[in-house]
Amino acid sequence: MDIRVKICGLSEPEHVVAAAEAGAAYVGFVFFPKSPRNVEIDAARALALEVPVGVAKVALTVNADDAFLDELTRKVPLDMMQLHGGESPERVAAVRARYGLPVMKAVGIADESDLPAIDAYGAVADQLLIDAKPPRGADLPGGNGLAFDWRLVKRKYWPCPWMLAGGLTPENVAQAVQMTGARQVDVSSGVENAPGAKSAELIRAFVQAAQGDTAPVPVLK
């Protein structure tokens, strides 16, 4: 099944390699100090240089200012920006114009009242990441291991490509894909043994489950 997978929150070279070998289409690096998955810019540069050609390198930021994004894009070879905070549609458009990179905007969903925001951001972003809305007062805007009611986005069509996130695991991702019709999925905490501690085994299992593949995963040469 042609499902594109993003493994987010990577911080160790071996897990970057594991994601690429498993067949992930995207790898994500988190730049948010409150997150257990946070990486410094210099460390992210080293990780990005390990990513094989053909796998997109995504930077997740939260309400970052231009000064930070200037340094980030100058030092780290990126393919996409992921804005995961409360950035307005105008800010999304400004980041896209300033850096000349595709922008993915995360939109948190809890109930039907959150759905109109998808159209607003879909008009200015290159992609959307449809995630579970964090609980009130949560420190993290994502990566909380929470799912939302997938029926809210079942077979929906928006102005740009979208990716399903929020509480996905190797055990439930196939069901999520079947229920929603998503062609792209994102995982972070669902492939960890502890917050921020990725598992190569779980990464491989997630990609295989998302793609409906139970055969052994080939190793990149």
**Residue 157 has what pLDDT?**
74
218 within a domain of the structure (yes/no): no
174 within a domain of the structure (yes/no): yes
The CATH number covering residue 159 comes to 3.20.20.70
**Residue 140 has what pLDDT?**
54
**Residue 158 has what pLDDT?**
79
Q: For this structure, is 160 an active site residue?
A: no
215 within a domain of the structure (yes/no): no
> How many Cα atoms sit within 13 Å of 81 on the Cβ side?
27
**Residue 217 has what pLDDT?**
44
Element (H or E) spanning 70, and its range?
Answer: helix 66-75
35 within a domain of the structure (yes/no): yes
79 within a domain of the structure (yes/no): yes
**Residue 212 has what pLDDT?**
87
The encoded tokens of residue 127 equal 């992609």
Calpha distance 210→122 (Å, rounded): 24
Domain range spanning residue 61?
4-210
For 152-168, the DSSP string reads: GGTT---SS-EEE-SS-
175 within a domain of the structure (yes/no): yes
pLDDT along the chain (221 residues), means of 10: 93 97 98 96 96 97 98 98 97 98 95 90 96 66 65 79 94 92 95 96 97 56 36
219 within a domain of the structure (yes/no): no
**Residue 130 has what pLDDT?**
94
221 within a domain of the structure (yes/no): no
CB 109, CB 132: distance < 8 Å:
yes
R_g (Cα) of the chain, nearest Å: 16
**Residue 216 has what pLDDT?**
45
Q: Terminal CA-to-CA distance of the chain, rounded, Å? A: 23
What confidence tens digit (pLDDT) does each residue in 53-85 have? Answer: 999 999 999 999 999 999 999 999 999 999 999
**Structural domains of the chain, count:** 1
Sign of CA dihedral 45, 47, 52, 55: negative
Residue 188 sits at the vertex; the CA angle it makes with 182 and 193, to the nearest 5 degrees, is 130
Indicate which residue of 66, 79, 111, 131 is catalytic.
Answer: 131
